[in-house]
A and B are shown apart, each in its own frame.
Chain A
Amino acid sequence: DAGVIQSPRHEVTEMGQEVTLRCKPISGHNSLFWYRQTMMRGLELLIYFNNNVPIDDSGMPEDRFSAKMPNASFSTLKIQPSEPRDSAVYFCASSYRLWGEAFFGQGTRLTVV
């Protein structure tokens, strides 16, 4: 398996634009997690899914953030409208079971100017 695949690897966008980050989990994994990493706050869990169902989105900072998992092999994290303070590295991870060993994607570095 190729591991968790995230796209794009880098994204630069202007404030106010919509941004969509994509994640393909490892085949067979039931849980998917979206994280954000910044220098100030470190790693934070934004939302996680189990069997394609969102379980806890309390980490999503604002209503501008939304995440979907339409099927077991694909998830998106959308920011609309984006703001400069959203600049961070966004990681997606998947695991075979909830809170089992997690495998991380390479991350998407988002810069909002």
Chain B
Amino acid sequence: KNEVEQSPQNLTAQEGEFITINCSYSVGISALHWLQQHPGGGIVSLFMLSSGKKKHGRLIATINIQEKHSSLHITASHPRDSAVYICAVAKNYGGSQGNLIFGKGTKLSVKP
């Protein structure tokens, strides 16, 4: 079983819809990252969080440390949000040297 699981793998939405992407992990972490990879291949860091909730524009990320779960929400989705969204966790420093583990990504396609 992968230490970081994302769902769904693929997601198609209509413009304007509210979107949720989920990430579950099975290891102790010091932080969780959400990354966005555009169709051209470039990767952008969206959020880094270790507790609670963060918001940037139409994007909201939440994390529940006790449940080992994080969600990425997109409100009022737009075709330009089409990308692969990747969850990554940084293991606890007291664990295996703080390595970064990636989920397989969620491919989002927003139709106009």
List A residues at the B interface (Cβ < 8 Å). 33, 42-45, 48, 55-56, 58-59, 89, 91, 93, 98-104, 106-107, 109
**Are B43 and A99 touching (Cβ within 8 A)?**
no
Residues of chain A within 8 A (CB-CB) of B88 are 43
Q: Which of chain B's residues 18-68 have a Cβ closer than 8 Å to chain A?
A: 30-31, 33, 35, 41-45, 48
List B residues at the A interface (Cβ < 8 Å). 30-31, 33, 35, 41-45, 48, 86, 88, 90, 97-105
How many contacts between A and B, using CB within 8 angstroms? 52
**Are B100 and A33 touching (Cβ within 8 A)?**
yes
Residues of chain A within 8 A (CB-CB) of B99 are 45, 56, 58-59
Task: Identify A44's interface contact among B31, B33, B48, B102, CB under 8 A.
Answer: B102
